[in-house]
């Protein structure tokens, strides 16, 4: 699958982002592959848990910004948006316990996807940021709904609107990281948690998980609203200028 590795270890499906030269920035192909890995686990009774992680000490730098600028200036963002939204739908419709193992940076959707996870482990050097506002954009991934519920409105405002970055311990204190471990150990510890969950009665786990989460229909409605606004913002003069300034700084 190119920049994505999917492996099954007994009852655990591990999805590993592996695009280290771009800090695991997510491409359209990667979105499609992640969706497929999650969707295909739904009717497989052998798979009891799913783990998402990165390699090379990085979780993900978020969406591939080259795609973003290309889409914003060409007006052709629908294809990228549909791949990203399909991945988000897969997270919402997923019925298997989902565990994230975060080392290094988790930017944009790298952070917002964590609000769909059931258990999050972070290496002590991990950082979490959602710099949508600095790019003239709006939050995505139903984070505008889930983040205030998870970490409180004020923290959500600081993260999603002001673009404030949280470190691993701050994320644990905020409540969306369960456990902080030594750098490089998050993936191994996540598999231990997954094995613990796999020993529990599967149907009881699935029903309890469903009771804890907002209805999928509510989440998909919010994803659709965010996606529409995100697409409009992506083509705005404000966002295009922000992206061009970003890339100009990178070239210096």
- What is the spatial distance between Cα 167 and Cα 126, in angstroms, rounded to a whole number? 6
Encoding tokens for residue 88?
Answer: 């988000």
Confidence label for 246 from pLDDT (cuts 50, 70 and 90): confident
pLDDT of residue 66: 74
The count of residues in the chain is 252
pLDDT of residue 91: 98
Query: What pLDDT, in 10s, does the model give residues 31-61?
Result: 999 999 999 999 999 999 999 999 889 999 9
E strand or H helix at 181: strand 179-181
pLDDT of residue 68: 60
Provide the CB-side half-sphere exposure for 57 (13 A, CA): 4
pTM attached to this predicted model: 0.93
- What is the spatial distance between Cα 230 and Cα 140, in angstroms, rounded to a whole number? 7
């Amino acid at each position: 699958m190119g920049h994505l590795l999917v492996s099954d270890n007994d009852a655990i499906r591990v999805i590993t982002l592996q695009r280290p030269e771009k800090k695991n920035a997510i491409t359209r192909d990667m979105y499609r592959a992640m969706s497929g890995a999650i969707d295909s686990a739904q009717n497989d009774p052998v798979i009891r848990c799913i783990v998402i992680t990165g390699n090379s000490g990085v979780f993900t730098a978020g969406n591939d910004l080259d795609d973003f600028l290309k889409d914003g200036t060409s007006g052709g963002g629908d294809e990228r948006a549909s791949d990203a939204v399909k991945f988000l739908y897969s997270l919402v419709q997923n019925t298997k316990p989902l565990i994230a193992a975060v080392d290094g940076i988790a930017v944009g959707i790298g952070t917002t996807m964590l609000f769909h996870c059931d258990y999050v482990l972070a290496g002590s050097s991990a950082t979490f940021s959602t710099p949508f506002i600095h790019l003239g954009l709006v939050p995505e991934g139903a984070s505008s709904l889930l983040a205030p519920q998870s970490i409180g409105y004020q923290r959500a405002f600081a993260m999603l609107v002001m673009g404030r970055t949280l470190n691993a311990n701050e994320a644990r204190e905020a409540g969306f990281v369960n456990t902080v471990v030594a750098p490089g150990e998050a993936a191994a510890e996540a598999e231990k948690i997954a094995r613990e969950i796999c020993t529990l009665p599967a149907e009881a786990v699935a029903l309890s998980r469903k009771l804890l989460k907002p209805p999928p229909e509510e989440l998909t409605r919010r994803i659709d609203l965010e996606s529409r606004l995100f697409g409009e913002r992506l083509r705005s003069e404000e966002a295009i200028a922000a992206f061009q300034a970003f890339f100009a700084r990178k070239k210096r």
